[in-house]
Structure formats: structure tokens, C-alpha cells
Amino acid sequence: MEHTIRVTPATLAAFGFSETSALSPLSGGHINDTFLVEDQGKFVLQRINPFVFPHPEEIMENIAGVTAFLREKILARGGDPDRETLSIRPTLSGEALYWDREGGPWRCMSYVEDTVSYEVAQNNEMLREAGRAFGEFQNLLADYPAHTLFETIRDFHNTPERFRQLREAVAQNKAGRLSQVGAELDFAAQREQDCALLMDLLREGKLPLRVTHNDTKLSNVLFEKATGKALCVIDLDTVMPGLAAFDFGDSIRAGAVTAAEDEADLSKVHFDVDRFAAYTEGFLSAAGTSLAPLELQTLPDGARLMTFEVGIRFLADYLNGDVYFRTAYPEHNLVRARNQFQLVREMEQKRPQMEQLLR
Ligand code: GN1
Ligand code: MG
């Protein structure tokens, strides 16, 4: 969808930008509205989607805490915190958020120059780097006081709860699209039984809660243009306590694949074991020693379940009339759901190869 949200002079002024600053939309994310502002440096100005995030002030508290903590760690290892993590640019009155007249919450963050992000991995080295970046992210935050983090979206990776939400969307059939999704609903129903695997192990105390990113798609890593190295993990809105398998799994979903998340031609959409191997190598090189045996064992489940989960979320949103994810055309969410289900199918088939590589 086009950016229907506009940046007004009042919003610019709130963050100390001049009315004549250069503005351009930054696309990619499905939730927030994002703009690049150039005014004595480059900044990312975002309107947080208040439908998705009911408490934006809690997000900003999480981000302030996490980035301050990361800065210290990055400094301690001799890194450059201005490039290796994000910084918040507050409003002129020192607030992390500016609320516009329509009640829209805006925030501003640093823009890390000379970096680039990708929807689809261009080569395996890129995935190794992304894996290293997310593994390091988890490691650096291992001793972060997790109890101080707000749960910015409840049950974010609670797959059975996501399944319940799908059932609710079916029952309500708000957009009148139910008759179009019979095959997809059958696919999902066949997998309802074992979609609670990770949540069950968590509840039974068998998997540890960690501070995780929870939205570890490839496009949430900035790569340094000059070196091709993964430099900075971005999109910290969903940093919350979670499982290692969530972060690993969501990255595999979005990275160990041959096509974009919304590729409609399913003959191009494959789960790629070589890419899986490259990401896994990077991730384990950074986070491996801190993972318990059962955590390692559940990583392939993370891949399968995170892919299934976002598939049923796209499907539910299609039934609800595209109220959550931004869409560019009417079938967009259905195309995304089919794409993700195809990956689930291939992950099921290639499970033995995944296990073998992990060993
Ligand atoms: C959303 O905001 P964005 O585009 O990085 C979503 C993720 C999904 C992803 C699928 C807060 O992420 O959970 O995995 O789309 N974020 C939220 O691309 O729901
Ligand atoms: Mg996001």
C-alpha cells in the first residue's frame, strides 16, 4: 500500500527537524510507517502502528533499556556503538515519543549510514553473517534483566494461541473470503496437533527463557556496504523474553529460502538446505556454546513452527480483511500464507537433513 500516513511539519518540529528537511519513505516493514529524514545527518522517523502495538511507550522503554545495555557491551569489546546498535533521538522536550493530533505515536532513531539490507539472501556468506549477528545479539543480552522488559505483544510466538486466532477469524469471516481458503485451512488443521511443541516444553520448564529479538528476518540486519559484514540488528519492537528456537526459526523461515515471502509463483519458493547450513553455522558460532542440548535439538522445530505460525497469521489476516499486515493488493496475505505453507511442507520433508547438519 502507498504511504497514506504523512509526516507533518509539526511532527518534524517535535524532533527538532526543519520543515524543509528531505523526506523519503523507507519501505519493507509490514507494520509501521517509516521515513528517512535528512537534516544535519540522516534519521529514521517512524509512526508506530497503534493497532498492532497498543502501548508504544512500553516499546520505547524496552528499546532504551536494551540499546543502552548493548552500547556498553559493544564499547567493552572495542566496537562502535553508534553503528552496531540503534540510538533513540528524543523529541525537543526529551520524550521518546511524539503523539500527533490524530493520536499517532512517532519515534526517531539513528540511521546507520553506508549499510544495506536484503529481502532475499544473495549468497550463503550473507546468511552466515546474519546468523552470527542474531547469535551475538542473543549472547550480548544473555544477562539483561529480562523481568524489566514489557511484553510488547502478548503471546507473540505462542503458536497454539495463533491457531486459536485463526479459528476465530474463520468463525467471524469478516471479509467474506472463507470460501477461498479451504485448502489452506485443511493444511493448517493437519498441523494443529503438534504446533504446541515449543510452548509445552517451555511450560514444563524444559527450555529456558532468554531475551530474544523475535522478528529475525534477514531484512532486520544491516550489512556494511564496504565489507559485506553484518553490522547492526534493527527493528527492536519485539525484543522480549522468548526461546532461542524463535529467533533461529524465524531467521530460517525468512533466510534459508529461494524467494521472497510474497513470491506468488510457488515453483520458485523452496527451503534450501545449503542456506540453512550457512545460517546455522553463523548462529552457532556466536550463540552455540550457551545453548542447552534440548535447545539445539528444538532448532528445526523452531524453523517449522515459526514458518507455520506466520503462515496462519497471514491467513487469519486475509480472513479479517487485511487489518494487521500492510498489503499491496487484495490477495497479498493469501499469497504470503501459501508461500509460507509451501516452505513448511519442504521443511517437513527435509527434516532429516536439518537434523544431520545440526549434529
Ligand atoms: C512483521 O514489522 P515487520 O515487517 O518487520 C511482523 C513479524 C512477521 C513479519 C513477516 C510486530 O514484521 O512478526 O514475522 O512481519 N511483526 C509484527 O514478514 O507483527
Ligand atoms: Mg517489525
| H or E, element range at 223 | strand 221-224
Ligand 1 atom showing the smallest separation from residue 29 Cα: 4
What's residue 28's pLDDT? 83
Cell output for 256: 534459508
User: Rounded CA gap, 233 and 74, in Å?
Assistant: 13
Using CA positions, which residue lies closest to atom 5 of ligand 1?
29
Q: Is the pLDDT of residue 3 over 60?
A: no
Using alpha carbons, select from 291, 297, 299 the residue that is nearest to residue 250. Answer: 299
- Tell me what the mean pLDDT of segment 107-132 comes to: 97
Residue 159 class from Cβ within 10 Å (0-12 exposed, 13-18 middle, 19+ buried)?
A: buried
What's residue 1's pLDDT? 42
Which has the minimum average pLDDT: 25-34, 84-93, 128-137, 334-343? 25-34
What distance in angstroms lies between residue 238's CA and the mean position of ligand 2's atoms? Answer: 7
What's residue 127's pLDDT? 98
- Tell me what the mean pLDDT of segment 333-337 comes to: 98
User: Rounded CA gap, 136 and 115, in Å?
Assistant: 19
Contacts of 237 (CB under 8 A, 6+ apart): 31, 32, 48, 53, 59, 63, 152, 215
- Tell me what the mean pLDDT of segment 262-286 comes to: 98
The ligand whose atoms approach the alpha carbon of 326 most closely is 1
Using CA positions, which residue lies closest to atom 15 of ligand 1?
30
pLDDT tens digits along 78-91 = 999 999 999 999 99
Cα-flanking dihedrals φ and ψ of residue 105, to 5°?
Answer: -90, 130
End-to-end CA distance of the chain: 44
111-134 exposure pattern, b = at least 16 Cβ within 10 A, e = fewer:
bbeebebeeebeebebbbbbbbbb
User: Rounded CA gap, 185 and 311, in Å?
Assistant: 11
- Report the chain's mean pLDDT, rounded to a whole number: 96
Give Dmax over CA atoms of the chain in angstroms. 58
Q: Which residues line ligand 1 (CB under 6 A)?
A: 29-31, 52, 215, 217, 235, 237-238, 261, 310
Handedness of CA 170, 174, 175, 179 (dihedral sign): positive
Q: Is the pLDDT of residue 218 over 80?
A: yes
Do the Cβ atoms of 210 and 242 come closer than 8 Å?
yes
What's residue 288's pLDDT? 75
- Tell me what the mean pLDDT of segment 119-136 comes to: 97
- Across the beta sheet with 221-224, the strand order is 115-116, 221-224, 230-233
User: Rounded CA gap, 86 and 83, in Å?
Assistant: 7
Q: Is the pLDDT of residue 273 over 80?
A: yes
What distance in angstroms lies between residue 28's CA and the mean position of ligand 1's atoms? Answer: 10
DSSP 290: G
- What CA–CA distances, in Å, run from 261 to 112, 121, 155, 252, 301? 25, 12, 23, 12, 19
- What CA–CA distances, in Å, run from 52 to 30, 32, 86, 301? 11, 9, 22, 26
% of the chain at pLDDT higher than 90 = 97
- In total, the chain counts a number of residues equal to 359
Mutational test site, ligand 1, from 215, 219, 262, 324, max ligand atoms within 8 Å of CB: 215
